[in-house]
Amino acid sequence: MTIETDDEGLIRLQKLLAQSGVASRRKCEELMLDGLVTVDGEVVTRLGTKVDPRTAVIRVDGRRLPPISPHVYLVLNKPLGVVSTMSDPEGRRNLGDLVADRPERLFHVGRLDTDTSGLILLTNDGDFAHRMAHPSFEVDKTYVAEVDGQVSRETLAELRDGVTLDDGPVTVRAVKVVEKGAGGATGRTIVELVIHEGRNRIVRRLLQHVGHPVRRLTRTKIGPVELRGMRNGELRDLTREELGALLDRAQL
C-alpha cells in the first residue's frame, strides 16, 4: 500500500485510517470524535492530528492497525510432501517452489513436517518471524489429526492435564473429538487440539505417547489466522485484522 505523506513523513490520522480501509473518511472522523481511536496509547479526538504511519501504534476500537511498511506477511496452505525450507539441496519440492514468482526474499515462520499439511506463515520481516516462532510469545496453533483407535474421555483428560515427553512437558490448551469412525478400538478418530509449542513433530509424538498414532495431520490455525476456505497450495496476504493481532502478540 502506498500512503502519501508530507515532507516530514506524516499524514493526517483520519486520512490514514480511510486509506487503510477502516471506513470512509467521514466515518473515520466520527470514530475519532467518539474517542475510539488511540495513537501510542493516547486517545486522539482532534481532527487533523498527524502521525507517522510507519511507527505509530494505532488502534481503532481496541483493534491494532498495522503500520505501513515494506514488509509482506503471507499465509500458505502447505501441501503434503512439501519440505518446510525455502530451498532443498536434495531437489525435493519446498516452500520456495510455491512462492518462486514472489519478488521478495521470503522465509518461513516455524515449520511443518513434510508429511503434515496446512497453515504456515511466510514473511520478509525478520523480527516478526523470530518472535512468532519463539515459544515465549505462546501463539496458539490448532491442529486436526486423524489417529488410530477411539480416543476416550480419559485420554482427552490426560492430554488436557499435560503430558511429559522425553524432551520435556507439553501443555495442551484444548483438545476435543471432532469425529469418531467405525471399527471400535481398531477404527479411527479425528481430534482437534491447540498447543503453542513448535518442537519437532510435537503433535505426532504427543498423540503417539497416549496410544493414538497419527494417520493424517493438518494445521488449521495460528492465532487468529485460519486455513478455512484456502485451497491446497494457495497463498494469500494476512488481513489487516490478522496482522494487527499477531503484531500485538509478538509485541511489535
Closest to 200 measured CA to CA, from 167, 156, 171, 175: 167
- Find cell 515427553 and name the residue: 165
Query: What is the distance between the alpha carbons of residues 188 and 147, in angstroms, rounded to a whole number?
Result: 6
- Is the separation of the CB atoms in 13 and 32 below 8 Å? yes
What are the grid coordinates assigned to 191, written together? Answer: 481430534
Angstrom distances, CA of residue 16 to CA of 61, 63, 116: 16, 15, 40
113 is catalytic: yes
Axis crossing angle, helix 126-133 with helix 240-249, rounded to the nearest 10: 70
Q: Centre a 10 Å sphere on the Cβ of residue 181 and count the other Cβ atoms it contains.
A: 13
- Distance, CA of 228 to CA of 220 (rounded, Å): 7
- C-alpha–C-alpha distance, residues 199 and 208, integer Å: 15
Give the active site residue among 97, 113, 140, 248: 113
Q: How far is CA 47 from CA 31, 32, 140, in A?
A: 10, 7, 38
List residues with catalytic annotation.
113
